[in-house]
Structure 1
Amino acid sequence: MKRMLMLSLPLALLAACSQNPAPAGSGDDLAPAPAAAATQKAVSHLDAQRLQGQHWLLREATAGDGKRIDALFARADKPVTLDFSDGRLSVSNTCNRLGGSYTLVEGVLTLSPMTSTQMACTDAAVMALDDAVASRLQASMNAELADSGELVLRTLKGDVLVFAPEPTAETRFGGPGERVFLEVAAQTRPCPHPLIKDKQCLQVREVKYDDNGLKQGEPGAFENFYESIEGYTHEDGVRNVLRVKRFTLANPPADASSQAYVLDMVVESATE
């Protein structure tokens, strides 16, 4: 008996629904950021290109009264993460994936209303995380790049959100990579390896989709997959379709693969 979980995807592969946050305001509505010299210096160094080169992991969040915003840390092992790309902001490690457009002008970050995938989470705190994030990432806010390299967002309500940078795969591997979809079989199998005795390999085949998110053609046979997929942990008995980014390494070690795979998102899961 199969239990199928289908996740929607962004744009052609994502059906989004509005979270209906408050309408976006203008930069003129913002209270000015502190006038300290370090803050002013940080603002001048922040631009969209700098934002796009990093994942931004939430490290600290305080309300206007100075108290920690515990609701934003419902997933202690997976901090809320922001990704900026081509005028779009994506939020991960919430219950659903959130996203919207943004502009950055002279230290003011202006966000469109957030859209979201639609799925339920069994943990009530994680389920509430979506609203806790969306209610703060809306309208306009002051954006600063601290001397430490951390991104500091100050909302209209006085909340201060601090995000630590983590280089994106594109930054680490020196290019945009290729987006591919891989179907991973529920069970691993023994595979020959000159250095690893009794190695177990993922069984993988590539899946193709059209612009409307519909599968194209028949996938080939499953084959031994000797590589690792960064960010993916296989659970025995669960078949997954993954959206990954495949990078070609310019100077791989002599005994290593010339390609690297990084998980983008899990598209489909089924227990078998």
Structure 2
Amino acid sequence: MKRILLLALPIALMTACSNPPASTKSETTAAPSTSTAAPAANIDAAQLGANHWLLDNAVDAAGKRIDGLFVNTDKPLTLDFKDGRMSVSNACNNMGGAYTVEGNALTIGSMMSTNKACQGPIMALDGLVSERLQGKLTVQSLDASAMRLVAANGDVLSFRAEPTAETRYGGAGETVFMEVDAQAKPCPHPLMKDATCLQVREVKYNEQGLEQGKRGAYENFYGNIEGYTHEPGVRNVLRLKRYQIKNPPADAPSQAYVLDMVVMSETVK
């Protein structure tokens, strides 16, 4: 017996809907910003795209921490910059908008988002993000390890850099789809006694998102899928990025797999 939990084909990631900025600040006059660092002379667009940017700290113009941006404690808000678009993950919804750079100014257009309802404090997170990340921001500092943005209202957002898979593996990955069966099974392993392996098989889709051909038999998967945690009893179809590993160690995989999206899930009893 199985139950479909999620279906996200064709390949489009988001059902767009307007997400206007929320207005949560009071009309009292804010104290001057306590930050004294000079703005960056110019934004390095390549540096923006080479990393995921994880929110480390956020304070208002008076230096008070903006606690509402940190309600998702296990998954910090993360910005990604690619192909002229900035995307936000780990809010209630996936969000994004076009961006441009000029000098030390980063301008983000109207943001679009998926349309998912969330429970608890995280429900307000999208509005807090939109309020601060739309419009013209000043890049106060930017290097390979950190970035600091100043919003139009004076809020200061500090991010730490985490290299993207493209940066780590030295090139763009190949998009592949893989079905992971509900249960892992024992598998032979030269270095591990009583090893278990995920059971996987490739799934092929055309450009319209329609499955092509028949799925083959499940095979042992000896590697690791970055970003994916398997839940026993749940069968998933995953969209992955596959990268070639240059000069891998002996007996190590020559390919790396990074989770891009869970396309479909079903519970198997």
Report TM bin, short chain: 0.7 to 0.9
SS in 2 for 1:135: helix
Partner of 2:28: none
* 1:8–1:14 contact (8 Å) kept in structure 2: no
Shift of 1:148: 8.0
Structure 2 CA distance for partners of 1:240 and 1:147, relative to 1, 3 Å: closer
Per-residue Cα deviation, 1:163-217 (whole angstroms, up to 9, x for no partner): 1011111111111111112111111111111221111111111222333333333
The aligned counterpart of 1:29 is none
Q: What's the counterpart of residue 140 of structure 2?
A: 144
In the other structure, the counterpart of 2:20 is 20
Q: Which residue of 2 aligns with 1:117?
A: 114
Say yes or no: does 1:108 pair with 2:105: yes
Alignment of 1:79-98 (within 5 A): 79-98=76-95
In structure 1, distance between residues paired with 2:215 and 2:13:
18
Give structure 1 stretches of 5+ with no counterpart: 23-32
Query: Does residue 226 of structure 2 align to residue 230 of structure 1?
Result: yes
- C-alpha displacement at 1:16, in angstroms? 2.2
Residues 249 and 259, structure 1, Cα contact 8 Å, conserved in 2: yes
CA–CA distance in structure 1, aligned partners of residues 3 and 131 of structure 2: 33
Q: Is residue 20–residue 130 contact of structure 2 (8 Å, CA) maintained in 1?
A: no
Given the two structures, how large is their TM-score scaled by the length of structure 2? 0.87
Taking structure 1 as reference, are residues 193 and 11 closer, same or farther at Cα in structure 2, changes over 3 Å only?
closer
Residue identity matched to 1:112: G
What is aligned with 1:253?
249
> Is 1:268 matched up with 2:267?
no
8 Å CA contact 2:34–2:62 kept in 1: the answer is no
Q: Is 1:61 equivalent to 2:58 in the alignment?
A: yes
CA contact under 8 A between 2:101 and 2:107: conserved in structure 1? yes
- 2:168 aligns with 172
Q: CA RMSD in A?
A: 2.4
Verify the 8 A CA contact 1:9 1:117 in the aligned structure 2: no
Q: Select 1:198's aligned residue among 194, 200, 217.
A: 194
Secondary structure at 1:209's aligned position in 2?
coil
Picking from 240, 243, 252, the partner of 2:239 is 243
Runs (5+) with no aligned partner, structure 2: 23-32
Q: How many residues align?
A: 258
Quickly say closer, same or farther: Cα 1:12–1:209, change in 2 above 3 A.
Answer: farther
Alignment correspondent of 2:38 = 39
Match of 1:76 in 2: 73
Q: CA deviation at 1:227?
A: 0.7
- How many angstroms does 1:97 deviate by? 1.2
The question of whether the paired residues in 1 share the 8 Å contact of 2:179 and 2:236 is answered with yes
Contact map agreement 1:57 1:82 (CA 8 A) in 2: yes
Q: Which amino acid aligns with 1:80?
A: L
Give the alignment partner of residue 45 of structure 2, picking from 38, 43, 48: 48
Counterpart contact for 2:10–2:208, Cα < 8 Å: no
Percent identity for Structure 1 against Structure 2: 59
Conserved 8 A contact 1:9-1:15: no
Aligned to 2:167, the other structure's residue is in SS state helix
Tell me the SS of whatever aligns to 2:203: strand
